[in-house]
Structures are given as C-alpha cells and as structure tokens.
Amino acid sequence: MKVVIVRVITYGVMAILVAAALVNTPRLPEKRPAEDLLGAKQQSIVSLPVAMLRERFDTLGSGESLRGVFERGGVSAVLADQAVKALTVINPGRVRAGMPIVFRSENPDSVPSEIILQLATDRLLHIKRSDSTWTEFAEQLPWTTDTIAVSGTISSTLYEAMDSSAKSILPAPARQQLTWSLADVFEYKIDMSRDLQEGDAFRVLAERSSLSNGTVRIGKILAATFTLSGTELQAIRYASHSVRGDYFDQNGKSLRAAFLRAPLEFRRISSTFGGRFHPILGVWKQHKGTDYAATSGTPVRAIGDGVVRRAGWGSGYGNVLEIRHRNGFVSRYGHLRGFATGIHVGTRVTIGQTVAYVGMTGLATGPHLHFEVLVDGVQRDPRTALRDRSGDPVPASERPEFDRVRTQMLADLESKSAAPLTGLASR
C-alpha cells in the first residue's frame, strides 16, 4: 500500500511540473507564406554592394589597328574581329593614334563585355557584347557652362601669374588656354613677351565649360583689364554692326588696330631693342630691332596689311622679308628658314597671314626671328612704334548699347573677382 501511495504522489508531482513547463514554453512562430520568405531573401541580396566593374585603360598606338588593341585588352581574336565588323559610326581603318580606350569586364577574370572609344573630348562610342554579338551606340557628353573671374599680378611672366591665380578653379591645360586667349585679346595692344613689368596686373571674366569626367575648357573671354605701369586698358566683348573686331576698350575703340604688336603667336624674346654684344661679330653694335627666340619652322605673321617689297637673301639678315604698309611703315623679318607659298615681291598680304618661317640663316647662332620696324625709312623700336595704333570707334548710334554691355560686364568682373575662388582642383 505504501508503494502505491508513493507512486501516486510521484506521478502527480511530475504532472504538475509538465503542465508548468507547457504553460511557460513560448509558442512556435506561424508558418510564413513562401513569397514572403523569398521577398526577404531578395531584399537582403539587394542591400549587398553590387560588384564593381573592372576597367582597363589603354590608348591606340601609332600605326596600330583597333583589332590589335582590342586583343591586348583581353578580347579574343575572334571576338575582336567581330567587334570591328560591328562598327558603323566610324571607319575602323581611319582612327587617330592616341585615342583613349576603356575595357570593362564584369569581374576580374572575364572577357571584356564593353569597349568604350573616346572619339573626342565629349564624344564616346560604346561597343557592348552579348555572347558573341556586339552592338554599338554613341554618347554625347553634356557640357555645363558658367563664368569665372581670375585676377593676377605679374611677378615674372603671364604664365606664372595665371598659374598661381587660377590653380584652385582650373586644371593646368585650361590655365594655359586662358593665358593664350587673354594674350590674343590684347595682341594689338600688348606684347605679352616684353611689355609686362613686375607689379602689372590683369583681371579676366571668361566662360568655363566642364564635363562630368572633370574635363574643362575655356570659352569666350567676356571682359578683361590690364593695368600696365598704373594705366588700365579694358577689353569688352561687343558685336558691333559696323566696326571690325570682337573687343573694344573703355573708350569704345576697337582693339583690332592696323598692326599686331608681335609677329609670332608663341613668342619669347632673346634680345630687346638697344645695345648688345653681337654673338658672331664679337663687337658692341646697335641692335635695330627685336629678336624672338622660337623653334625653327615657327610661322611668322605679317603684322599688318601690305605689299611685299623684298623677299630673298640679305647678307647678315640671311633670308629676309620686307613688307610695305600704309603711312610710311615697313616691317622687316630676318634669319628666315624660308618664305610661305606665294610670297614674292609684289604679293599683297593681310594682317596675321603666315608669310615666312623662323630659321637661323645669315649671322645667327640659333633659330630665332629678327624683327624690325621702319618709319619713313628710319629704324624705330617696334615697342614704341606700334604702341599707339588705335582701331575704329563704335559709332554713335551703337554707343548706348555698348555702354550698357560694358557696365554689365565690368560689374560681373568686379563681383566675381571679389568672390572666393572655388571650383576644380589643379591637375
């Protein structure tokens, strides 16, 4: 009897413990529909970073075929041949050397699935592969244009001043382009190689166009000023209905004058007007002109409209060219390698026309251009003889419009020059 009682008590305690355990055990979650589970899985996959495409950069070598550079980029000979045959936008046999090419692969070990040819700064040609089939499409990159102002002070050269002033907003090629454009605007008034002195200053308002890939180019200069020895010269872009030239000074006179200030576009002076020790004759003598050191073959420009009065050998001058202009002016160009096609005595030339090429004939130790200006038969310093030649003025009927444009452009130049320089970092 005692055994039975003990068993009853034991079973009762166990039953109580089991019941308590069941009450306190958490319920199992309800079964979720299959689509919900799949959706959660898809969401977790989407949240993971997408695998980066592998890109390989190359350029088309001189004399190299597209098929050859495609194979070097990892495309098999068969696929490269098919890719070339798929091209219709360009002629595969007539592509420029140095053209950048990008190869894109979906992972590091796969064959490129896309090839991108940079046809121009803002024009791309995509060739995409699906299995063994290639398709092409052209892409025109959009330019974003704004205006910038740059101010600088001359300590040595215009190039140096532009580099130090515009480094934060323009990459190096654009800074050089802006320097050249600024020199072109004032080429009838200022010889940037020899007229600038330490402390002279410039300000320029110009258009800047940018691509999403960081490429920058300089557009039109809208307004600019140069302060030379305390005297300011302005250049305002204005389209006159009757006066030639794109730029006018503060008095409404065209900056396009009768003469250019220098006979070379890319110029560097090796000797200025005045006394110098002659490198060949070995004696001091008066140097009746200006020497521009330049690479042999550099084009020489006529500084003004005129008629060729001499084109041939001139003793110490070597090959020499003389052009007769209006009002008793004659320009002389010495040590030439040769003359441009069609240049001979009696030929009429126009301002800026290429008439000869830099050389080192005659008494010359290296390639350079010797340049002289004669007025009424007397040799004059080109620096002073050509300085005060002014262009035609804006007619009275256009003066109110010119004044409005000038006021607006100078106000923009002033406000943007005062603002902090921000933009693209130097590259």
Is 239 exposed, middle or buried, given 0-12, 13-18 or 19+ CB atoms closer than 10 A? Answer: exposed
Identify the architecture of domain 269-385 in CATH. Distorted Sandwich (2.70)
- Cβ-contact 54, 104 below 8 angstroms: yes
**Element spanning 24, H or E:** helix 2-24
- Cβ-contact 324, 280 below 8 angstroms: no
Helix/strand/coil for 172? helix
Neighbours of 366 (CB within 10 A): 11
Which has the closest alpha carbon to 146: 237, 204, 238, 210? Answer: 210
pTM for the whole structure: 0.73
Once rounded to an integer, what is the mean pLDDT over residues 122-147? 93
For residue 184, report the phi and psi dihedrals to the nearest 5 degrees.
-65, -40
Give the model's pLDDT for residue 265. 85
For residue 422, report the phi and psi dihedrals to the nearest 5 degrees.
-135, 155
Residue 275: is its pLDDT beyond 80? no
- Cβ-contact 47, 53 below 8 angstroms: no
**Model confidence at 14, in pLDDT bands (50, 70, 90)?**
low
Strands (E), 260-340: 269-271, 274-277, 284-287, 290-293, 299-301, 306-313, 319-324, 329-339
Give the model's pLDDT for residue 422. 52
Q: What is the pLDDT of residues 214-253, one digit of tens each?
A: 899 999 999 999 999 999 999 999 999 999 899 999 999 9
One DSSP character per residue, 75-88 reads --HHHHHHHHHT--
CATH class of 142-257+390-427: alpha beta
Mean pLDDT value across the chain: 83
Q: Report which of residues 325 and 11 the model is more confident about.
A: 325
Q: Report which of residues 227 and 194 the model is more confident about.
A: 227
Q: Which residue has the tokens 């005659």?
A: 362
Give the model's pLDDT for residue 135. 95
Q: Report which of residues 288 and 283 the model is more confident about.
A: 288
Give the model's pLDDT for residue 425. 41
Give the model's pLDDT for residue 352. 94
Give the model's pLDDT for residue 274. 58
Whether the domain at 54-140 and the domain at 269-385 fall into the same CATH topology: no
DSSP letter (8 states) at residue 118:
E
For the chain, which residues make up each domain, given as ranges? 54-140, 142-257+390-427, 269-385
- Residue 223 CA to residue 409 CA, distance in Å, equals 6
**Mean pLDDT lowest among 168-177, 295-304, 414-423:** 414-423
Q: Which residue has the tokens 């992972």?
A: 107
Query: Which residues are paired to 101 by β-bridges?
Result: 58, 117
Q: Report which of residues 37 and 28 the model is more confident about.
A: 28
- Cβ-contact 63, 69 below 8 angstroms: no
Q: What sign has the CA pseudo-torsion 103, 104, 108, 111? A: negative
- Cβ-contact 421, 170 below 8 angstroms: no
Residue 266: is its pLDDT beyond 60? no
**Model confidence at 213, in pLDDT bands (50, 70, 90)?**
confident
Once rounded to an integer, what is the mean pLDDT over residues 126-143? 92
**CB neighbour list of residue 376: distance below 8 Å, 6 or more residues apart:** 328
Query: Span 54-140: which CATH code?
Result: 3.10.450.350
- Cβ-contact 211, 286 below 8 angstroms: no
CA distance readout (Å), 391 to 230, 244, 255, 325: 22, 9, 6, 16
DSSP letter (8 states) at residue 233:
E
3-state percent helix, strand, coil for the chain, nearest multiple of 5:
25, 35, 40
- Residue 20 CA to residue 405 CA, distance in Å, equals 94
